[in-house]
């Protein structure tokens, strides 16, 4: 079973994706201006990704040559396979998103249920494609090569694409969004997605290249890296039990099947609780996966003897359950801090009544406070998992947590689809009742994007911890990471610095690009006669071109930071300092990423809470303050925060690649 299930399950997932894509294709796409706007969004997204991938290709070719001459052809090919499939998962997911958005807007004419079902199907394509491609890549490559070095390179390729996708897409989407908001909402007082705003198409494109393509690449690499790291630990810790090397592949395969079945539980009930409908699918998938994991352990425990049967089930099943519980716990915590119904978000909205500064203070405070519960949850998961099965137990918990990525990414990708659907409805002048439906879907989409980012951050941090454990195991008996060693302490400081430095680069990049968008939007309102009155058409393409060029230019330097830092520290300070760097980056990376993504999402939903009528509603003084908070929070939650995930994993993977030269 362990030999064929990791191949058959992702193939089944791929066929199910094709079925869902066919269902989406059958749905009507509207007509006239709706189709025109959707095509503009699609063309802008494709144009951006083509230019991004051409830029990345130069870096990939250079790294392939280096890996080929140092490690051999299998390692080089593994690197290219990981990079290609990570890019493919993002591209296909984005294509489906750009096709589904206009169809969701059209379905909203028939009612909430039809629009919800279609938007979730669009997200499901991305989610299941990510896990199917990821598992198929790792399983196939391992069965063909039996080479762990090549698998590490595969993870490196996926992680590098993820950094570029998260960073470039995040810069794009937030530069366009911030530029559109500053001139449109703040200066001109026009609604979001108003067709008079020259930056609205760029903003819509950004939702797809950042939240859809970027998230897909991010989860793809976290998913594959966690599986690879757990396999490596299994090989190092249990060399006599090959079934434990294959265990992460098998449980991931079971979870794909569970996610496919769980997706049928996502149905909107009579109360039209959108978040509840999505949670039903996640919970059903988790329960089915938990049952499947138990039977997997029973089957592999019989390979040796009865004593081993007891050890495997009692030692390994609890960490698998802990991983599922941590995933669900991260969802619950993040929803509390980011939902429009929560006291936390309402507190920021209330603070907006006294001005911009108090809104900012409340949002920053919430972001800092929001790190407490996730860190305590992650810490509890680490301790309990370790008590059952040591470091391998932690690795299993991480793999289990990420095994639900198929259904969880579906919930995330639902967000940009509904966001674009609302924008298309607004720009094409659809009736108010249609916009009410798309607004309701989009409001939940903001929360789903926030909670899945928290899930991604927690899983990324734990996956990086497993990678560090593999690094430490490779050096077992050759070195120690004692705090009495000054090199370890220096490494901790440098590692702790890197997430802050990386986030600074990302925030500055958004600010620089957004400034260019602001200048262009102001120019068009000034020079195009009749634009503000709605009698002239904005030049949308100019803003799309500006953010495309700016994001490509700004993403390269920070994306190379996690590649170069471990190499330089390893060469000049040694393996002990590099170990300290890895731990330092994981610790501060988790705190920075969680505070940024949660705080940014809370700012966004506080603004939407006011727009729904609280504290004076749209146009009020509180609303103006909330728009400022949301504008600052945009690059927090969609650029810098999420991009830290792949950054800390690239650091650890590069360290694992070069460890043989340091030992």
DSSP string computed for 529-585 = TTTTTTSS---HHHHHHHHHHHHHHHHHHHHHHHHHHHHHHHHHH-HHHHHHHHHHH
Q: How far apart are CA 423 and CA 203, in angstroms?
A: 9
> Residue 32: which pLDDT band, with cuts at 50, 70 and 90?
confident
* Section 150-178 average pLDDT: 89
What's the confidence (pLDDT) of residue 477?
67
Q: What is each CA distance from 2 to 5, 6, 313, in whole angstroms? A: 6, 7, 17
Share of the chain above pLDDT 70, in %: 98
Q: What does the CA dihedral 377, 382, 384, 387 come to, rounded to 10 degrees?
A: -170
Q: DSSP secondary-structure letter at 267?
A: -
Q: Which two tokens stand for residue 32?
A: 């006239």
What's the confidence (pLDDT) of residue 590?
94
3-state secondary structure of 430: coil
Q: How far apart are CA 488 and CA 77, in angstroms?
A: 34
- Total domain count, the chain: 1
pLDDT(309) > 60: no
* Section 499-517 average pLDDT: 93
Q: Which of 647, 650, 500, 467 is nearest to 588 (CA)?
A: 500
Task: List, in order, residues 6 or more apart from 604 with CB less than 8 Å away.
Answer: 446, 630, 633, 634, 637
pLDDT(433) > 90: no
Q: How far apart are CA 413 and CA 425, in angstroms?
A: 19
- Among 180-189, 485-494, 598-607, the least confident range: 180-189
What's the confidence (pLDDT) of residue 302?
66
> Residue 2: which pLDDT band, with cuts at 50, 70 and 90?
low
What's the confidence (pLDDT) of residue 307?
44
> Residue 452: which pLDDT band, with cuts at 50, 70 and 90?
confident
Q: What is each CA distance from 387 to 322, 377, 391, 480, in whole angstroms? A: 12, 15, 9, 22
Write out pLDDT tens, residues 97-119.
Answer: 888 889 999 999 999 999 999 99
* Section 111-135 average pLDDT: 93
Q: How far apart are CA 6 and CA 9, in angstroms?
A: 6
- Among 26-35, 64-73, 383-392, the least confident range: 26-35
pLDDT(537) > 60: yes
Share of the chain above pLDDT 90, in %: 52
541 CB neighbour count, 10 Å cutoff: 15
Handedness of CA 202, 207, 212, 213 (dihedral sign): positive
pLDDT(349) > 70: yes
What φ, ψ does residue 141 adopt, rounded to 5°?
Answer: -65, -40
Q: Are 249 and 135 in contact (CB under 8 A)?
A: yes
Give me the chain's average pLDDT, please. 89
What's the confidence (pLDDT) of residue 603?
94
Domain extent at residue 512: 4-23+31-661
Q: Which of 287, 291, 247 is nearest to 392 (CA)?
A: 247
Q: Are 629 and 607 in contact (CB under 8 A)?
A: yes
- Identify the residue with better confidence: 123 or 476: 123
- Among 35-49, 79-93, 335-349, 633-647, the least confident range: 35-49
Q: How far apart are CA 269 and CA 279, in angstroms?
A: 12
pTM of the model: 0.90
* Section 160-175 average pLDDT: 88
Task: List, in order, residues 6 or more apart from 424 with CB less than 8 Å away.
Answer: 34, 37, 38, 41, 101, 102, 105, 204
Task: List, in order, residues 6 or more apart from 367 with CB less than 8 Å away.
Answer: 595, 596, 598, 599, 600, 602, 636
């Amino acid at each position: 079973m362990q030999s064929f299930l990791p191949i058959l399950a992702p193939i089944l997932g791929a066929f199910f994706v094709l079925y869902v894509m066919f269902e989406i294709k059958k749905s009507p796409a509207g007509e006239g201006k709706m189709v025109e706007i959707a095509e503009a969004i699609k063309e802008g997204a494709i144009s951006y990704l083509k230019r991004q991938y051409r830029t990345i290709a130069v870096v990939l070719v250079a790294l392939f040559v280096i890996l080929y001459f140092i490690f051999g052809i299998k390692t080089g090919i593994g690197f290219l396979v990981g990079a290609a499939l990570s890019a493919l998962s993002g591209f296909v997911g984005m294509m489906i998103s750009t096709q589904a958005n206009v169809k969701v807007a059209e379905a909203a004419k028939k009612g909430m249920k039809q629009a919800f079902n279609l938007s979730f199907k669009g997200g499901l394509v991305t989610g299941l494609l990510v896990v199917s491609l990821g598992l198929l890549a790792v399983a196939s490559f391992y069965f063909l090569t039996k080479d762990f070095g090549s698998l590490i390179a595969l993870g490196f390729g996926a992680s590098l694409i993820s950094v570029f996708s998260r960073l470039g897409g995040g810069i794009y989407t937030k530069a366009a969004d911030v530029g559109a908001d500053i001139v449109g909402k703040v200066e001109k007082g026009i609604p979001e997605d108003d067709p008079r705003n020259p930056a609205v198409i760029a903003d819509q494109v950004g939702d797809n290249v950042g939240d859809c393509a970027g998230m897909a690449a991010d989860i793809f690499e976290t998913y594959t890296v966690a599986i690879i790291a757990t396999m490596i630990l299994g090989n190092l810790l249990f060399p006599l039990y090959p079934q434990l090397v294959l265990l992460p592949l098998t449980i991931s395969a079971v979870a794909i099947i569970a996610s496919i079945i769980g997706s049928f539980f996502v149905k909107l009930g009579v109360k039209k609780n959108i978040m509840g409908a999505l949670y039903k699918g996640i919970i059903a998938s988790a329960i089915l996966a938990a049952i499947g994991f138990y039977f997997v352990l029973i089957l592999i425990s019989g390979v040796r003897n009865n004593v081993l049967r007891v050890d495997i089930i009692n030692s390994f099943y609890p960490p698998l359950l802990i991983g599922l519980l941590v995933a669900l716990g991260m969802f619950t915590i993040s929803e509390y801090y980011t939902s429009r119904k929560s006291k936390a978000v309402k507190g920021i909205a209330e603070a907006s009544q006294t001005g911009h500064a108090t809104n900012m203070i409340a949002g920053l405070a919430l972001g800092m406070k929001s790190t407490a519960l996730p860190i305590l949850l992650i810490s509890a998961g680490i301790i309990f998992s370790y008590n059952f099965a040591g470091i391998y137990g932690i690795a299993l918990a991480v793999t289990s947590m990420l095994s639900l990525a198929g259904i969880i990414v579906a919930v995330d990708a639902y967000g940009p689809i509904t966001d674009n659907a609302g924008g298309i409805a607004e720009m094409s002048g659809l009736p108010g009742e249609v916009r009410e439906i798309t607004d309701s879907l989009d409001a939940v989409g903001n929360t789903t994007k926030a909670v899945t980012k928290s899930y991604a951050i927690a899983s990324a941090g734990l996956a990086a911890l497993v990678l560090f454990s593999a690094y430490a195991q490779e050096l077992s008996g050759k070195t120690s990471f004692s705090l009495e060693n000054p090199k370890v302490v220096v490494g901790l400081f440098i590692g702790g610095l890197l997430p802050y430095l990386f986030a600074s680069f990302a925030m500055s990049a958004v600010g620089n690009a957004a400034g260019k968008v602001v200048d262009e939007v102001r120019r068009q309102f000034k020079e195009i006669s009749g634009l503000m009155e709605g009698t002239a058409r904005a030049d949308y393409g100019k803003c799309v071109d500006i953010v495309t060029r700016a994001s490509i230019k700004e993403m390269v330097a920070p994306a190379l930071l996690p590649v170069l830092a471990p190499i330089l520290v390893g060469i000049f300070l040694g393996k002990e300092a590099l170990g300290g760097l890895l731990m330092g980056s994981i610790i501060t990376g988790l705190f920075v990423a969680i505070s940024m993504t949660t705080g940014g999402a809370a700012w966004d939903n506080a603004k939407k809470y006011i727009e729904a009528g609280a504290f004076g509603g749209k146009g009020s003084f509180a609303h103006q303050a909330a728009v400022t908070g949301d504008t600052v929070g945009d690059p927090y939650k969609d650029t810098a925060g999420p991009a830290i995930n792949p950054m800390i994993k690239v650091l650890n993977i590069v360290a694992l690649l070069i460890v043989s030269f340091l030992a």
